[in-house]
Chains A and B, each alone.
Chain A
Amino acid sequence: MHQDILEAPNPLSRHTRFDEEHVLQELKHMLPTQTPLKDFIHHNTLHAFQSMKFYDAIFKASKIFGYKVTFNLEEYRGLYQIGRIREDILDRVIADRKGASTVLAWKQLVLVQEYNETVRPRIGRLRAYWKSAYHVDLDNLVQPLLFRILGSYMDQGIALWHFPFEDQGLLKAIRALESNSFTSFFKTKRVKKLLLDENDCTLSNLLNILVGDEAYFEQYLFDQQFCHRGWSGMAAALEAHPEAILYPKKIELRDLILLELLLEIDALEADLGNGWKPLCQKVKAKPMELFADVKTTELHEVYCIWQDAFEWSYYDEVLAGLQQLKNGRPERARTHKHFQAIFCIDEREDSLRRHLEAMDKDCETLGSPGFFGVEFYFQPENGKFYEKLCPAPVTPKYLIKEYGSNSHRKHELLYTKNSHTLLRGFLATLSLGVLAAVRIWLNLFRPKMSPAISNAFAHMNVDGQLTVENKSPQDNENGLQIGFTVEEMATRVEGLLRGIGMVEDFAPLVYVMAHGSSSANNPHHGAHDCGACSGRPGSVNARVFAMMANHEKVRNLLILKGLDIPAKTQFLGALHDTAADEIAFFDEHILSEKNAVAHQKNKATFERALDLNAQERSRRFASINTQADLSHVREAIRLRSVSLFEPRPELGHGTNALCFVGHRSRTKGLFLDRRAFMNSYDYRTDPEGKLLLGVIRPLPIVCGGINLEYYFSRQDNYKLGAGTKLPHNVMGLIGVANSSDGDLRPGLPLQMIEVHDPVRLVILVEHYPDVVLKTIQIQPEVYEWFINSWVHLIAIQPDTDQFFYFKEGKFIHYVPLTQQVKSADDMQHLIRSAQEMKTNHIVDATQENLSVHVIQE
């Protein structure tokens, strides 16, 4: 190995002292923060770099860790060839970034120049000396046992025997094991002694034995921990969020590192005998500053140009579509609405809303984050734990309990752990073997719902009651107030309704439509549920909100606050299963006679919209013939959600790219191919933007988090995503790995991201640019997303309909280059005309997307 490899790019900023706490903090900051898979909360995969500008950050992360963060030139050029990246946009991007006079020169570089694109990451270079100088493959010697111990320790219930002394903490438990048994995890006495001596068993001491020179300690620990970022990340995440698992486990990253260091010393001692010298004796080069700045190269500039051109080729079309729609369609005032439906802002609801509006021209759909402004913990009847039902960063003070339900969860015989013991296993193979064969057969040819399938509708029992109203302050449990007081309810109902601009013209029926997703054989099922409900179905929230909004005392309070909901208006909670395309309505018995009749009619409308929604989704599923009869398509869609063999029950947030904040009239009639989050907001009811911060604040973290998780999992599905699902092995009920000896794989699996075009989210806000600017600047953590370009922001000026793009702290007027977007008069025809991707390579995959269309009425 060459000496210069370890040379620090910037030797001045090198720490020579080892600051243990500081290094641990840094590690925890850099490691993946995904918690166990039972709840899937999307977040920016490169959150640790968020304080930097997007491009600087991703290239830095790439240089340090070897991640692939953009497409390579061949892929970008392929996208250009097929027209997915437009030439006029490319020219404009170059002109904007480099000046109009350099367009030709840069275009030459971008289009034809050859570059060496290989990235040699900084991580791992120090530890590589074990192999090059000592001929020891430490990872092979240490990782299998280390992972098995960690897996067994954190296991939530796969193993039949739990880890002894697990209540004491990892290292203490191992100490207890070592001193109370006749065998050892270690091969040498020296290491066992090191372990048992609590005063000597410190990071510094062990590193001193292993590495020698303090100046290398930090680099060594990063090298070591990033060899298995999955396990280390999980330990760090559970240390920070012990509540993320049901079976409590005391785990600290420090313990993990200590154990690994001990195992490393042990392996070296056993392999090299006791005369070996610390690593740094063989290392001549200086310690490296892993996080030193990365020089921007010409190749980086080329990637930036391509990525910008890739993104704007799509955005430009969307903006042109918005403009065209606005010009071509005079706003019609409606006096009588059949019903209103508040959906989650989730982009998967875009198509259902569109079909609903097409089915019933006198309905109105709105969008609001799917927890509907009510934050609480939920305890299902007989449940031993609480579930958080609100966005992940929020810590609720309320508890909603379920009671009075008659349904009971069934068990699945074939999942019995008894089959894993010897004698009962013997009986099980003799008795259950044939049953298993029949089960496989049935599931292949007649899939149906079973207790083993994660069922969105089972999250709450429809026949159960909820403790929505708090009657007295004494009514609390574990520090949580059971239910909300009338005032608290009114505040929440008002907050939501005003936020989405729903202050007058109430329809007699207002549906509060939560969403969730059913899927079979899918450890990542939580990633398909509602992001605003901490990765769970939002059924309870919808029901709770409806009950609050129907509450007589709440209504009275609201009138005092100037929000007059007519007495005949009733709210009804419902849940849309985005995989099965089915809807369940809750508490239908409360409806007035007149509303009940109307509801039956609306239900039929919902059914027809669901048919069309299923058909629209089916175009991306090879196993369903989109041309087939609607009822067939609908049934096929439903079966996917209960089919064990289906790794794509639905496609989740794949293709998400837009987030629209404004009145529905601005997007109604625009075909956005399920790519837009849509948050209702009416600037007319909030001219000074007082409510705007509350509306915008969750968007970057929820929608931007989803978008960036998809972005990075798509760009590097191997390192930042979870890879293909097919070989996944469930580890300890907390995560998945590929192999028996593999590292945990955070991120999204291939089957979820293959339809996704990795473009950053663009948030479009219908308001005056100065109001938007003022709003986003209020909170630095919100502003960071925009100023560092992790999400794009465009303000749509209400009077002039002009677009203003937020760039480097200012709003700049943007004129779309697209002259005309396509029109379609038959949505079904449009959907049926879409082609299926040939392969999931981006150049093929992107062709499955349909361009923006204006739908003719």
Chain B
Amino acid sequence: MNQFLPYFILLPLLGLVLSALFPNRKEKIIFGISITTVALHTIGLVALSLLWLLNDRPTVFYDGLSLYQTHDSDFSIDFYFDGITSVYAVVASVLTFLVMIFSRSYMHREKGFKRFFNNVLFFYLGLSIVLFSGNFETLFIGWEILGVTSFFLIAFYRDRYLPVKNALKVVSLYRVADAALLLGIWLCHHAFERNITFSELLDPAILNEHFTEEPIYPILISSIFLLAAVVKSAQFPFSSWLPRAMEGPTTSSAIFYGSLSVHIGVFLLLRTFPIWESSEVFRAIVIAIGLITSLLATVTARVQSTVKTQIAYSSIAQIGLMFIEVALGWHTLALIHFTGNAFLRSYQLLVSPSVLSYMIHDQFFNFIAPQHNITNTLWGKLRLTVYMLSIKEWNLDHFMYRFLWNPLKQMGALLAFIPVRAVTFLFVPLFLVGFYFVYNRELLPPAALEYLPSAMAVIGIMLALKAFKARGNAQLSWSLVIMNQLFSALSIGLHEEFEHAQILLFLSGIVVSGIVGFFCLRYLIQAGESISLDRYHGHSYYYPRLTFVFMLAALSLSGFPITPTFIGEDLLLGKIDEHQFLLLGFTALSLILDGLVVFRIYARLFLGPNEKGYHEVAFRSS
């Protein structure tokens, strides 16, 4: 049975590649390929699930391709299938199938018809990888794809301001979840001293063997995965991104934010449940988060005056309950609840435009003027307070800025004393010297070897912070990101013995994408376009192809799994010792910041309204 698993990944991949070959006008072909892919996938899934049930639910594990292997680490693509995979994948494929059919007419003649179907297939591929993944490394690949397709689908109307702004907002948070997942992988790597698979997690013996000596690990690992789950499922305090993600066509909102994407956090909790199952405290934390989210989201849903945000908050509230169910061990209920919520919210979003005529009609016959009976008592005041806080979404959106992004910006501002030119005149030579020592470590005194890695990491993080704060020239920010990546590599290279291949693997993608990115920026400058980062330029209007090329460069520079950089990233991270939390923290932070800066450069230059010439330009507030 396990031999079938890779096909569930290869099929959407094939569909994606095939459908990407046709131009936007070929709506029938693009739709045909997409729907065939999903239909075959659905049939295969149902068959596999039945087969699995009939065989008394065996453990299905596919030991896949090893992308990179050394004595102590093994980056392999493994697949796994169990009841959780089955329920999630069947719901996902049925919903995707339905929504795709819905979209055929709905998206007809849209400029982004092809972009939409490609993105949905890409998303579907990512989701399949997550659901079928056999280890965290594989899951991470799918996870990254989900993040990136979310960005593209939220910013689907890329010539308007709000979609782009909100896409950036969402992807910034996703980046936090990405880093959390990476850290979790790192922790697992150290806890188990190898790359653990999901089937092994089910074996109490393996868990006991590793966890009894270091009881801090299960708590740390679970907490970091919980953070990732909380972000992806828009739980407290990260709830405010979900209503803002409803920027794309209604069908994509229905399938992504109404149902599939937003339930991935619950999936992650189910997957990692064996790790934290025995910790009462941790289960209590999950329950508390679920409960707080449910309560806040449900009162917020009550005051929403727009259809889609109301559905978003109702969905968040139900997912909060699912968190509680998972923590209580009621997994079957959680899966049923997931299924019901996914279908119901998708349906509600799909029909959300009809609410206007339905409700007005209903009102016409049944309207009763509301009573204004708020009393001037403590209870009355509390009600008003809750009302106002709900209108303000409990300040959660504001909270993100205040406690997450602004401090980073302020740190970046503190680095204003480093002149721009220093990047070329100071850091490039510094890097070259450092690089020389990487290959000649014996020349350095041991004391230096102890502190240099951290020093390099600090330089790296300074560059990243500077890039995060920078609002000027895109070339400068782009080079800061590259330099930061290089210094991260340096810090690890100086840190311990390593294989050259690992560093090269890491650098290959960075160097290539870095150069391609520079080329794109030069091209814009030569065409007389502005590349300052203080506003959106919308260059995709006049340069759609360049946009695509730059997007690829940006993705690979931010460590997206399309170049070997991604594997290198994971391997290098693995080099960090279990006690070097500072180094780890810096590396994780610079990963987050790099991603944010790269996405922002892409968004500011190529997305948003283009105001040059005489054509339709959207208002900023639309």
A interface residues with partner B (beta carbon < 8 Å): 37-38, 66, 68, 72-73, 117-119, 139, 143-145, 148-149, 151-152, 154-162, 164-167, 177, 180-185, 227-230, 246-248, 380, 382-385, 409, 411-412, 414-415, 419-422, 425-426, 428-434, 436-437, 439-441, 444, 451-454, 520-523, 525, 622-623, 643-648, 716-719, 723-733, 736-743, 745, 754, 838-840
A719–B161 alpha-carbon span in the complex (Å): 13
B interface residues with partner A (beta carbon < 8 Å): 25, 27, 94-95, 98, 101-110, 156-157, 160, 162-163, 166, 243-244, 246-251, 253, 294-295, 298, 301-314, 317-318, 321, 336-337, 339-344, 346-348, 350-367, 369-370, 372, 374, 376, 380-385, 387-392, 397, 611-622
A645–B295 alpha-carbon span in the complex (Å): 34
A83–B308 alpha-carbon span in the complex (Å): 45
A451–B103 alpha-carbon span in the complex (Å): 23
**Cβ contacts under 8 Å, B622 to chain A:** 230, 718, 723, 737-739, 742-743, 745
A183-B388 in contact (CB<8A): yes
Q: Contacts A247-B367, A440-B102 known; list 7 others, CB within 8 Å.
A: A156-B359, A415-B358, A421-B301, A436-B348, A452-B357, A622-B109, A729-B246
The minimal Cβ–Cβ distance linking A526 to chain B, given in whole angstroms, is: 8
Chain A, interface SS category: loop
List 7 contacting pairs A-B, 8 Å CB cutoff, sorted by A.
Answer: A420-B310, A433-B342, A439-B347, A646-B105, A717-B616, A732-B305, A740-B308
> What are the nearest 7 A-B pairs in CB distance?
A433-B340, A117-B614, A436-B347, A726-B249, A155-B305, A429-B340, A743-B621
CB-based nearest A residue for B618: A718
Contact of B357 among A166, A409, A454, A622 (CB under 8 A): A454
CB-based nearest A residue for B619: A719
**Cβ contacts under 8 Å, A182 to chain B:** 381-382, 385
A838–B111 alpha-carbon span in the complex (Å): 11
**Cβ contacts under 8 Å, A426 to chain B:** 318, 321, 337
**Cβ contacts under 8 Å, B314 to chain A:** 419-421, 425
The minimal Cβ–Cβ distance linking A248 to chain B, given in whole angstroms, is: 8
**Cβ contacts under 8 Å, A119 to chain B:** 614
A738-B360 in contact (CB<8A): no
The minimal Cβ–Cβ distance linking B412 to chain A, given in whole angstroms, is: 15
A158-B305 in contact (CB<8A): yes
CB-based nearest B residue for A451: B358
A521-B351 in contact (CB<8A): yes
**A158-B359, A247-B363 as given contacts; A754 in contact with B109, CB under 8 Å:** yes
The minimal Cβ–Cβ distance linking B367 to chain A, given in whole angstroms, is: 5
CB-based nearest B residue for A411: B362
B301-A420 in contact (CB<8A): yes
The minimal Cβ–Cβ distance linking B112 to chain A, given in whole angstroms, is: 10
CB-based nearest A residue for B156: A727
Among B251, B306, B612: residue with most chain A CB under 10 A: B306
A-B contact count (CB 8 A): 341
**A117-B613, A425-B314 as given contacts; A246 in contact with B354, CB under 8 Å:** no
A184–B342 alpha-carbon span in the complex (Å): 35
Contact of A726 among B94, B106, B383 (CB under 8 A): B106
A436–B95 alpha-carbon span in the complex (Å): 11
**Cβ contacts under 8 Å, A717 to chain B:** 616
B247-A444 in contact (CB<8A): no
**Cβ contacts under 8 Å, B358 to chain A:** 412, 415, 451-452
The minimal Cβ–Cβ distance linking A192 to chain B, given in whole angstroms, is: 12
The minimal Cβ–Cβ distance linking A739 to chain B, given in whole angstroms, is: 5
**Cβ contacts under 8 Å, A167 to chain B:** 372
The minimal Cβ–Cβ distance linking B611 to chain A, given in whole angstroms, is: 7
A436-B110 in contact (CB<8A): no
A384-B343 in contact (CB<8A): no
A151–B294 alpha-carbon span in the complex (Å): 24
CB-based nearest B residue for A70: B614
A743-B298 in contact (CB<8A): no
The minimal Cβ–Cβ distance linking B528 to chain A, given in whole angstroms, is: 13
**A383-B365, A433-B339, A733-B355 as given contacts; A726 in contact with B107, CB under 8 Å:** yes
B611-A118 in contact (CB<8A): yes
CB-based nearest A residue for B371: A162
**Cβ contacts under 8 Å, B354 to chain A:** 452-454, 520-522, 644
A726-B614 in contact (CB<8A): no
Among B95, B243, B295, B358: residue with most chain A CB under 10 A: B358
**Cβ contacts under 8 Å, A523 to chain B:** 353, 356-357
A521-B305 in contact (CB<8A): no
**Cβ contacts under 8 Å, A409 to chain B:** 361, 365
CB-based nearest B residue for A155: B305
A437–B308 alpha-carbon span in the complex (Å): 19
A165-B374 in contact (CB<8A): yes
**Cβ contacts under 8 Å, A425 to chain B:** 298, 314, 317-318
The minimal Cβ–Cβ distance linking A630 to chain B, given in whole angstroms, is: 22
**Cβ contacts under 8 Å, A66 to chain B:** 617
B342-A158 in contact (CB<8A): no
The minimal Cβ–Cβ distance linking A517 to chain B, given in whole angstroms, is: 12
